[in-house]
């Protein structure tokens, strides 16, 4: 189950909000109120998904390419 970040909706301009995390299923609707206090909340969108690619683990030296290579990779 993913963990979602929520924050309370400030009651007045300039007031602070409280952030909290909660585990929910993907198909659960977003919370509208804090589960303990009943204060209105909104889901915070943060971060994002990354892409992980599988590679040989070997990176060429900076500036290394077919035109100019000292690493022997393109020989």
Tell me the pLDDT band of 70, cut-offs 50, 70 and 90: low
Q: Which residue is associated with the tokens 């077919």?
A: 66
Domain for residue 37, yes or no?
yes
Domain for residue 54, yes or no?
no
Structural domain tally of the chain? 1
Domain for residue 19, yes or no?
yes
Owning domain of residue 38 = 3-44
Domain for residue 72, yes or no?
no
SS3 content of the chain, % helix, strand, coil (to 5): 0, 25, 75
Residues 7-66 have pLDDT tens digits of: 999 988 888 899 999 999 999 999 999 999 999 999 998 776 666 777 666 666 666 666
pTM to 2 decimal places: 0.58
- What pLDDT, on a 0 to 100 scale, did the predictor assign at position 45? 86
Domain for residue 58, yes or no?
no
Q: Is the pLDDT of residue 68 over 70?
A: no
On whether the CB atoms of residues 40 and 32 are closer than 8 A, the answer is yes
């Amino acid at each position: 189950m993913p963990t979602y970040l929520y924050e309370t909706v400030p009651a007045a301009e300039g007031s602070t909000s409280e952030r909290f995390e909660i585990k929910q299923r993907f198909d659960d609707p977003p919370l509208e109120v804090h589960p303990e206090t009943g204060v209105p909340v909104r889901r915070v969108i943060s971060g994002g998904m990354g892409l992980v690619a599988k590679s040989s683990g070997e990176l060429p030296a900076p500036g290394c390419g077919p035109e100019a290579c000292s690493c022997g990779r393109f020989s």
